[in-house]
Chains A and B, each alone.
Chain A
Amino acid sequence: MGAIRIAASMQGVHCVLHAPQGDSYADLLFTMIARSAKRPPVTYTSFQARDLGADTAELVRKTLRETVERFQPRALLVGEACTGELLQDQPAALAQGMGFDCPVVPLELPAFTRKEHWGASETFHQLVRTLLRGQQPRTLDPVAEGRRPRANLLGATALGFRCRDDIAEVTKLLDSAGVDVNLSAPAGASPEDLLRIPEADFNVCLYPEIAQSTCVWLERMFKQPWVKTVPIGVGATRDFLIEVGEVAGIDTSAAIAAGRTRLPWFSRSVDSTYLTGKRVFIFGDASHVIAAARIATEELGFEVVGLGSYSREFARELRAAAERHGVEALISDDYLEVEAAVLELAPELVLGTQMERHIAKRAGIPCAVISSPVHVQDFPARYAPQMGFEGANVIFDTWVHPLMMGLEEHLITMFREDEEFNDEAVASHLGSGKLTAASADTAPGPATTAEPTTSADGMGADAAPAWEPEAERELKKIPFFVRGKARRNTERYAAERGVARITVETLYDAKAYFGR
């Protein structure tokens, strides 16, 4: 899958995979999730049981021959899907022996141990290595040559999170600092473009999950320094420009001063007071999670109560980030484990991938998506980068809109007994009336978020303390959007102290104990 993402990102590259019938489902991730108008440039050998008795190596050769003839790629990636690996036909070696005109990049991706990002990273690295073989490091001096410094933007891929707009935004950002973009890769690049990588003065590692190993290699082989800061958030974007200045030997302070972003002011605006200390749980790929944790704390005034990632390759960086925020990093690709952490921490906002969006929806917690794995909704029609100053604007809106606004909270608290604001009333624009249980489940918006009960959220499932009717009535007086949390906290408080029946006193004891 990682290899396909690289091939699909580029022009003139084709991938041949020795894979059984059925593995072609990967195509639909591109054509349906990213709404790609072209099939990804992949050909599968599509072997079936009957082929296994015969010569599968011949099938590989036939597929390679026909693919090269039909698509005439300028670089050919050859690898195996997991089952193909077991056949040991060594398709890459076969391809190398077939005398094709184009460079053949063998992919050795142990599908049984490694995952998609690693596969993409390794594929990109191998492709760059193969194509640059024999090239020497350049002696570059922009000042002497009378030109602006040039950078390569590395790491953007098909199916990556908002890559399309990030490239545009970072290109603008670098332009404002007086830096030209030599090329962006893998997204949008052709094999000929990759040959020009050494012509840049430095590299920008936009997505370390994909490009870090390539940047490290280019530094070693071509003496190209690389910019390590990922410019997501206002602070990181400023740091990025500072680092660009250091690496390129230019003064970027004017570009930093000229950066237009509304996030800092919107965040200081008094209507944002209610964001203070909002408890947020963050999960996704390592780079987006680390960036999100910084924005959440430094730029929005949230409190990070948990963070984690499925990127095991970046576990060290994640643990360091988690330590900065005083939490322990959850490194896992088991969504049930992530779900358990979310339920346990009961955050007020979840920032995650599509998986966490499902988890948060089920738990009735507001959520914004910050990272791949992606969904068709993560390919918006409008310009919506995550990086740079405009990215910070997008992030402010995306994270804050799912939350109930502070003024709304106050109004609801003040008027909660009123006919209209009563939490069982439907929104006034939907006509008056009470919510029925059925419509409450289907109506959109936080106002109708299902209130998790002890049995539904699985906490304290056995021997849950019972509620006195009076305490239950008191609980109803708490605004509905925090009622679920109050219920859980009270039950946890009671359970931990062996209180069998929850009274009004227990409710307030728990409130005092847990705070807001």
Chain B
Amino acid sequence: MTDMRSRSQAKASPACAANGLGAGIGDQGAGQLSAGQLGAGDLAGNLQVQHEQGQRQVFCGLAGIVWLHRKIQDAFFLVVGSRTCAHLLQSAAGVMIFAEPRFATAVLGDRDLAGLADCNEELDRVVTELLARRPDIGTLFLVASCPSEVIKLDLENAAERLARAQQGRVRVLAYSGSGLDTTFTQGEDTCLSALVPVLPEAAAGSDALLVLGTLPDVVEDQFRRLFEALGIPSLHFLPPRRGSELPPVGPGTRLLAAQPFVGDTAAALIDRGATLIAAPYPFGIEGTRAWIGVAAEAFGISAERVEAVTAPAAKRAAVGLERYRAQLAGKRISFLPDSQLEIPLARFLQRECGMELVEVGVPYLDRRMMGAELDWLPAALRLTEGQDLERQLDRLRADRPDLTVCGLGLANPLEAEGLTTKWSIELVFSPVHGFDQAADLAELFVRPLNRRERLAF
């Protein structure tokens, strides 16, 4: 592994490969979906959920590294995986290799598969070299992948060992970005969960608001100004901009999720005494107002005060949104399961932009994190959880919505079939939260429709 590309080209040793299979892996499964949950299920209210299993067209959790490494400026992400993992990161994040990036892949070779002892030794060597070369790294994340999980390479143990060897100079943590455990944005959840045990203990009796989930810095600053104007006593964000600025947590911590995919992290923070504020997500004017409103309420701030503080931003957002509403109203939209943002975005497009929801697909449905959003969805909605790709595409072809939100692997083929698409990854990377981005968010859905209209051929 130079910069991490393992050069171990040792002879194949097939025996090793079997090693690591077995029941244990099954136990590690991410919990939201359990096998056998096929067929329709009744949700609180009358909303029906259709469960599907089969081929999936989604990223694994490693994709989260693309935005996490931009957010946490002193963190390095070392994926312990295969060439495929390296290839994914290179193609998904390839544009960022301008500066030596703060992520890399330690490629497992045959020799690593042969014996965990060798593998650990190799990992120690790579990490030691990396940390010697990059003194700017404050936090190192060892990121587990599908192969490292299957061979049962214990990265948490390795992280502890390496942290000891660094004598506190560098914090070393482990989490899984494996496709076995995580779907796309879920990789942020597992990453932030790994940070929870090392968060400092909040001083007794201190009330603070902790906003959970990566937000672009510009949006974070907007929210900071709003919460400060409301008089929230103490405000923190997780993840922080630097790994050295970890927010404290304790019984006085009120959690407010800014992203719907941080359920496990929320649960871990609750275990450390924090209280989760149930709220919709800050997409659109309505969502943002409610999100800020319930947080304010938790701190005993009056509704009048919230109205006074948010009114100017909400008012200009309404002006900005009006322009796009006319272009979206009455248009039919389908979401394929991808980022977990599907439900709050569908809610925004339906309630604030007048769109008609044809089908909303989510990779998994985390009812605790989605409660407030589900209440806002129309009862007749076709909501699907999981994916069986070909069947979903059959439905899509039958529905022929005006706009389809999907991943990049599907967008062009669907366009070629005459469907207009919005590629979902842009919704994850662009600043779309909050009042001042409400119009931008709507515009992202307007643009493909607009383009389709402009082009003569």
- A and B bound? yes
Binding site for B on A (CB under 8 A): 1, 20-25, 27-29, 31-32, 35-39, 43-54, 63, 66, 70, 81-83, 85-88, 110-113, 115, 333-337, 354-355, 358, 361-362
Other contacts beyond A52-B180, A113-B109: 11, CB < 8 A: A20-B60, A24-B56, A25-B92, A35-B412, A39-B410, A52-B29, A83-B180, A112-B83, A113-B12, A334-B3, A362-B98
B100: shortest Cβ distance to chain A, in Å?
7
Nearest A residue (CB) for B91: A29
Q: What residues on A are CB-neighbors of B20 within 8 Å?
A: 86
Question: Which of A87, A88, A335 is B97 in contact with, Cβ under 8 Å?
Answer: A335
Report the bound CA distance from A66 to B100 in whole Å. Answer: 44
- Give chain B nearest CB distance to A198 CB in angstroms: 34
- Whole-angstrom distance from the CB of A334 to the nearest CB of chain B? 4
Asked, given contacts A38-B413, A48-B29, A85-B17, whether A23 binds B2 with beta carbons under 8 Å apart, the answer is no
Which residues in B have their C-beta under 8 angstroms from that of A36? 412-413
A33 — nearest CB in chain B belongs to which residue?
B91
* Known contacts A29-B91, A50-B34, A63-B55; A22/B146 CB under 8 A: yes
Q: Can you show 12 pairs from A to B with CB atoms below 8 A apart?
A: A23-B60, A28-B407, A35-B412, A49-B28, A53-B23, A82-B147, A86-B21, A86-B150, A111-B83, A113-B109, A333-B5, A362-B98
Provide the residues of chain B in CB contact with A361, threshold 8 Å. 98
- CA A22 to CA B149, docked complex, whole Å: 14
Cα A1 to Cα B86 with chains together (Å)? 12
How far does the Cβ of A164 sit from chain B's closest Cβ, in whole Å? 16
Q: From B57, which residue of chain A is reached at the shortest CB distance?
A: A24
With beta carbons under 8 angstroms apart, the residue of A43, A53, A86, A337 that contacts B147 is A86
Interface assignment of B25: CB less than 8 Å from any CB of chain A: yes
Whole-angstrom CA separation of A54 from B36 in the bound complex: 11
The 4 A-B pairs of least Cβ separation, nearest first, read A53-B26, A22-B60, A22-B179, A27-B409
The answer to whether B35 touches A50, judged by C-beta atoms less than 8 angstroms apart, is: yes
B151 in the interface, Cβ–Cβ < 8 Å? yes
Q: Determine whether B191 belongs to the interface, using a CB cutoff of 8 Å to chain A.
A: no
A39-B409, A82-B83, A337-B2 are contacts. A21–B113 as well, Cβ < 8 Å?
no
Q: Which residue of A lies closest to B18 (CB)?
A: A88
Q: Does B108 lie at the interface of the complex (its beta carbon under 8 Å from any beta carbon of A)? A: yes
Answer whether residue B183 sits at the interface, using C-beta atoms and an 8 A cutoff.
yes
* Distance A488 CA – B56 CA, assembled complex (angstroms): 52
Kindly state the separation between the CA atoms of A112 and B109 in the bound complex, as whole angstroms: 5
CA distance A337 to B5 in the complex (A): 11
Say whether B27 faces chain A, with CB atoms less than 8 Å apart. yes
Contact call A358/B98, Cβ cutoff below 8 A: yes
Within residues 178 to 216 of chain B, which ones have a CB less than 8 A from any CB in chain A? 178-181, 183
CB distance from A330 to the nearest CB of B (A): 13
Q: Is residue B390 contacting chain A, with contact meaning CB distance below 8 A?
A: yes
Interface string of B1-38 (1 = CB under 8 A from A): 01101000100100001101101011111100111000
B63 smallest CB distance to A (angstroms) = 8
B159 to chain A, nearest CB (A): 20
Residues B24-83 near A (CB distance < 8 A): 25-30, 33-35, 54-63, 82-83
Q: With a CB–CB cut-off of 8 A, which chain A residues contact B366?
A: none
Nearest residue (CB) in A for B84 is: A82
* Chain B residues within 8 Å of A37, by CB: 412-413, 415-416
Q: Which residues of B contact A63 (CB under 8 A)?
A: 55
| Complex partner residue of A336 from B2, B113, B390, CB under 8 angstroms | B2
Chain B stretch 400-441: residues in CB contact (< 8 A) with chain A: 407-413, 415-416
Q: Which residue of B lies closest to A110 (CB)?
A: B12
A341 to chain B minimum Cβ distance, whole angstroms, is: 13
A67 to chain B, nearest CB (A): 9
Cβ–Cβ contact A336 & B3, under 8 A: yes
Query: Which residue on chain B has the smallest CB distance to residue A354?
Result: B94
- Given A25-B92, A86-B17, A336-B2, the answer on whether A31 and B180 have CB atoms closer than 8 Å is no
B8, chain A: closest CB distance, angstroms? 9
In the complex, A24→B337 CA distance in Å?
14
**For chain B residues 127-170, which have a beta carbon within 8 Å of chain A?**
145-147, 149-151
User: A390 to chain B: closest CB distance in Å?
Assistant: 27
What residues of chain B lie closer than 8 Å to A38, measured between beta carbons?
413, 416
CB <8 Å contact, A49 and B60: no
Asked if residues A31 and B55 are in contact (CB atoms below 8 Å), the reply is no
What residues of A have a CB within 8 angstroms of the CB of B415 in the complex?
37
The answer to whether A48 touches B180 (Cβ under 8 A) is yes
Are B100 and A28 in contact (CB-based, < 8 A)? Answer: no
A22 to B184, CA, bound (A): 8
CA distance A441 to B441 in the complex (A): 30
Chain B residues within 8 Å of A, Cβ to Cβ? 2-3, 5, 9, 12, 17-18, 20-21, 23, 25-30, 33-35, 54-63, 82-84, 87-88, 91-92, 94, 97-98, 100, 108-110, 113, 145-147, 149-151, 178-181, 183, 390, 407-413, 415-416
* A87 CA to B180 CA, complexed, in Å: 13
Is the pair A336, B21 in contact by a Cβ cutoff of 8 Å? no
A312 to chain B, nearest CB (A): 9
Task: Enumerate chain B residues within 8 angstroms of A53, measured Cβ to Cβ.
Answer: 23, 25-27, 29
- Closest Cβ of chain A to B114, distance in Å, is 10
- CB-based nearest B residue for A56: B21
- Inter-chain CA distance A47–B146, complex, in Å, is 10
Q: Which residue of chain B is the closest to A85 with respect to CB atoms?
A: B17
A50 B33 Cβ-Cβ under 8 A: yes
Q: In the complex, what distance in Å separates the CA atom of A20 from the CA atom of B58?
A: 11
A474 to B277, CA, bound (A): 66
With a cutoff of 8 Å between Cβ atoms, the chain A residues found around residue B147 in the complex are: 82-83, 86, 112
> Would you give the shortest CB distance from A327 to chain B, in whole angstroms?
21
Q: Are A70 and B390 in contact (CB under 8 A)?
A: yes
Q: Determine whether the beta carbon of B55 is less than 8 Å from that of A46.
A: yes
CB of B26 within 8 A of CB of A47, answer no
Q: Report chain B residues within 8 Å CB of A35.
A: 412
A97 → chain B, closest Cβ, in Å?
21
Contact A22 B9 (CB under 8 A): no
Which B residues are CB-close (under 8 A) to A54? Answer: 26, 35
Identify which of A25, A45, A83 contacts B88 (C-beta below 8 A).
A25
Question: B180: which of A21, A85, A336 is its contact (CB, 8 Å)?
Answer: A21
Contact, CB under 8 Å: B109 / A1: no
Query: Taking CB as reference atom, which chain A residue is nearest B26?
Result: A53
Chain B residues within an 8 Å CB radius of A358: 97-98
Please give the distance in Å from A280's CB to the nearest CB on chain B: 22
Residue on A with the closest CB to B179?
Answer: A22
- Known interface pairs A20-B60, A28-B407, A39-B409. Does A48 touch B179 (Cβ–Cβ under 8 Å)? yes
**Complex contact A39–B179 (CB within 8 A):** no
Contact with B113, one of A31, A47, A112 (Cβ below 8 angstroms): A112
* A49-B62 in contact (CB<8A): no
B109 touches A31 (CB 8 A): no
A361 to B28: give the CA distance in the assembly, Å.
44
- Is B58's CB under 8 angstroms from A39's CB? no
Contact, CB under 8 Å: A334 / B2: yes
Q: Kindly report which residue of chain B lies nearest to residue A27, judged by CB atoms.
A: B409
Contacts of B412 in A (CB 8 A): 31-32, 35-37
Complex alpha-carbon distance, A32 and B412, angstroms:
7
Q: How far is the CA of A25 from the CA of B408 in the complex (A)?
A: 9
User: Knowing A27-B409, A52-B26 touch, does A88 contact B21 (C-beta < 8 A)?
Assistant: yes
- Residues in A neighbouring B2, C-beta threshold 8 A: 334, 336-337
Closest to A334 in B: B2
Name B21's closest neighbour in chain A (CB-CB): A87
Known A-B contacts A22-B179, A111-B84, A112-B113; the reply to A49 vs B30 at CB < 8 A is yes
The reply to whether B409 and A25 form a contact with Cβ atoms under 8 Å apart is: yes
- Report the nearest B residue to A40, measured CB to CB: B409
What is the CB-to-nearest-CB distance from A74 to chain B, in angstroms, rounded to a whole number?
Answer: 19
Partner of B390, one of A32, A66, A113, A354: A66
User: Is B146 within 8 A of A82, CB to CB?
Assistant: yes
| Minimal Cβ-Cβ distance residue in B for A86 | B150
Given known contacts A22-B59, A88-B18, A110-B12, A49 and B25 CB-to-CB distance under 8 angstroms: yes
Question: Given A66-B390, A82-B147, A111-B82, do A20 and B180 touch, yes or no (CB 8 Å)?
Answer: yes
For A29, list chain B residues within 8 Å (CB): 91
Chain B residues within an 8 Å CB radius of A70? 390
